[in-house]
Amino acid sequence: MRAYYTDTHNLAEGAGAAPLAALLQEKCTMAGRKAGLILTGGNIDMDVYRDILHGG
């Protein structure tokens, strides 16, 4: 969620950020390859989101 916001300024809820998290886990395997991800879901409480963005 933090990576989406800091890199693209898009709001993502946890489930929406899961594909990016999975891709980042396979960073070495996917190096040099193209991948497409669909970002869905921005339904998150702003207080919770603020805590996540600040490393909480």
> By percentage, how much of the chain surpasses pLDDT 90?
61
**CA–CA separation, 2 vs 35, rounded Å?**
20
- The domain segmentation of the chain, as residue ranges, is 2-53
Q: Which residue has the tokens 């991800």?
A: 37
**Tell me: the pLDDT tens digits for 32-54?**
999 999 998 888 899 998 998 88
Q: What is the mean pLDDT of residues 19-40?
A: 95
What does the DSSP assignment read for 1-22?
A: -HHHHHHH-----HHHHHHHHH
Task: Say how many Å lie between the first and final Cα of the chain, rounded.
Answer: 12
Give the mean pLDDT of the chain.
Answer: 91
